[in-house]
Structures are given as structure tokens and as C-alpha cells.
Amino acid sequence: MNSSQSSQLYSGLSKEKLPSHVAIIMDGNGRWAKKRLMNRINGHEKGADAVRAIIETSREIGISNLTLYAFSTENWQRPRAEVEALMSLLIKFLKSEQKNMMENSIRLSMIGQIERLPEKVQTLVQSIMDLTKDNNGLRLNLALSYGSRAEIVRMVRMLAEKAKKGLIDPISITENMVADNLYTRDIPDPDLLIRTSGEMRISNFLLWQIAYSEIYVTDTLWPDFGKDEFIGILKEYQKRDRRFGKVNT
């Protein structure tokens, strides 16, 4: 894209009011494939291209944090062949994106149960997180084997353990201490949560963290989600009046 095309595409988008964290529930790969009489796996493959486009757009615009819900704790209950295909796709995606991440100063991080992922995925994710740890551009945060309830249970156990050891007094537990014991401890709460494919639900994603996120649901199926629609949603976000329970004067 040349610079005049890009300035046209982004016109109307204010740099000052950009969300610092965008979280996306990437849904609809299966339906995309079904509509075309294809296998669900083909939908996931196509979905990976949409992921690339959204990462690129986020980086170009200057969004600091992008969290993508790629695999939930509930998704383990899908047919084994689909889970295996998703894990293989993840490996393929990460390998192919490694160079791009270094060239564009993207830092990879993840939230979720890394220990439940296949050994090969764990090693690869860990090695790219190590490789990119000093990159200071976009932070790409993948939610893998992520479930908000499991994350909350883990946090409660960590705090209870500290209390048992006498390191903290339960009465002095604060919201900040809760947040500090979640996977997202070093990432700001999402300003904007997008869900594709029209479902009006959260599906166990970032329950604590989205307390005041702006929500946008689009009917577009994830493989069809692209740059233009993403920018349109960012513009819509910039028009929202975020009151945080207060009264705007």
C-alpha cells in the first residue's frame, strides 16, 4: 500500500483516541467453510490469513496491544482431528510469522494454560516469546487454551497460597492484587472487544478484564474480516462516550 492510499484508508481515525488494547473473539471459521461446502479445517486455514491482516493493520495504526482468542479451554472438547489441525496450523502460523515479528518489532506473548498445549507448540511459543521479548512495537498476545474461569481459579489459588503462608492478610486483598495474579498482569484491560460472526456472548473470555471494555459484534465471519472493517470499527469506537460510571460534564 502506498502512503496516499494508507492516509485515505485511515482518514477519520484519530491517533490520540486509539484503543491501547484491542481484544478479538475470532469466531466463524467453521460456518465460513460450511457455507462453501468445505471442511471446517479449511475455514481455520483461511482464518489464519485474516489474523495476518489484522496484525499488520494494528501495527500500522500503532495499537499497542492486540489479544486474539485463538483456542479456548472449552475448545479441547472438539473432535480430536479438529484440535490436532488447529495445533498444526498454530505451529505453521508461528513459524511463518517469526521473521515478520522480528522485522516489525512485534512482541509475542500468550495467556492461557501453556502446560496443556502439545510439547511442540509449547517449545515454539516459548522460543518466539524469548526471541521477541525486547521488541517494543505491537504486543501480540495470543489466548491459547485460555478460559477466564480457569484463570480466575488459578488467581484465587495463588492468593490463598500466599495467605496460608502468612504473606498476605485476606482482608487486605485489593482489585490490583487480583489483577496482578491474572495472566494479563502486565497488559492494560482491553478498551475494545470485538467478536465476529454475530454471536452475542463472551464465551469465557477475559471476564474480569472486560469490565469497562467497549463491545462491538459484527456478523462478518472471521475469515472475511479484514482491514477496512477493522478500521471502521476503530472509528466507531472513537465515537463512543466512555463514562466509566461517571457523569460527563
Taking the C-alpha atoms of 215, 20, 64 and 208 in order, what is their torsion angle to the nearest 10 degrees?
-60
Q: DSSP 3-state helix, strand, coil percentages of the chain (rounded to 5)?
A: 50, 15, 35
**Contact indicator for 145, 114 with CB cutoff of 8 Å:** yes
- Given the complex with ligand IPE, which of 55 and 86 has the nearer CB atom? 86
Q: In the bound complex, what is the minimum distance in angstroms from residue 199's beta carbon to ligand IPE? A: 5
Q: Which residue is nearest to Mg ion (CB)?
A: 27
- Given the complex with ligand IPE, which of 46 and 107 has the nearer CB atom? 46
Select from Mg ion, ligand IPE, none the partner in contact with residue 184, using the beta carbon and a kind-dependent cut-off of 5 to 8 Å.
none
Q: Which residues bind ligand IPE (CB under 6 A)?
A: 25-31, 69-72, 74-75, 86, 197, 199, 201, 203, 222
- Given the complex with ligand IPE, which of 27 and 45 has the nearer CB atom? 27
Q: In the bound complex, what is the minimum distance in angstroms from residue 112's beta carbon to ligand IPE? A: 10
Q: Which residues bind Mg ion (CB under 5 A)?
A: 27
Select from Mg ion, ligand IPE, none the partner in contact with residue 31, using the beta carbon and a kind-dependent cut-off of 5 to 8 Å.
ligand IPE
Pairwise CA distance, residues 33 & 40, whole Å? 5
Q: In the bound complex, what is the minimum distance in angstroms from residue 31's beta carbon to Mg ion? A: 8
Of the candidates 19, 33, 23, 25, the residue with the CA atom closest to the CA atom of residue 200: 25
DSSP string over 125-168:
HHHHHHHHTT--S-EEEEEEEE-HHHHHHHHHHHHHHHHHTTSS
Q: In the bound complex, what is the minimum distance in angstroms from residue 201's beta carbon to ligand IPE? A: 6
Q: Which residue is nearest to ligand IPE (CB)?
A: 30
First to last CA, the chain: 42
Of the candidates 107, 96, 98, the residue with the CA atom closest to the CA atom of residue 138: 107
Select from Mg ion, ligand IPE, none the partner in contact with residue 230, using the beta carbon and a kind-dependent cut-off of 5 to 8 Å.
none
Pairwise CA distance, residues 243 & 229, whole Å? 25
Q: In the bound complex, what is the minimum distance in angstroms from residue 199's beta carbon to Mg ion? A: 7
- Given the complex with ligand IPE, which of 222 and 230 has the nearer CB atom? 222
- Given the complex with ligand IPE, which of 145 and 181 has the nearer CB atom? 145
The residues annotated as belonging to the active site are 27, 75
**Contact indicator for 16, 237 with CB cutoff of 8 Å:** no
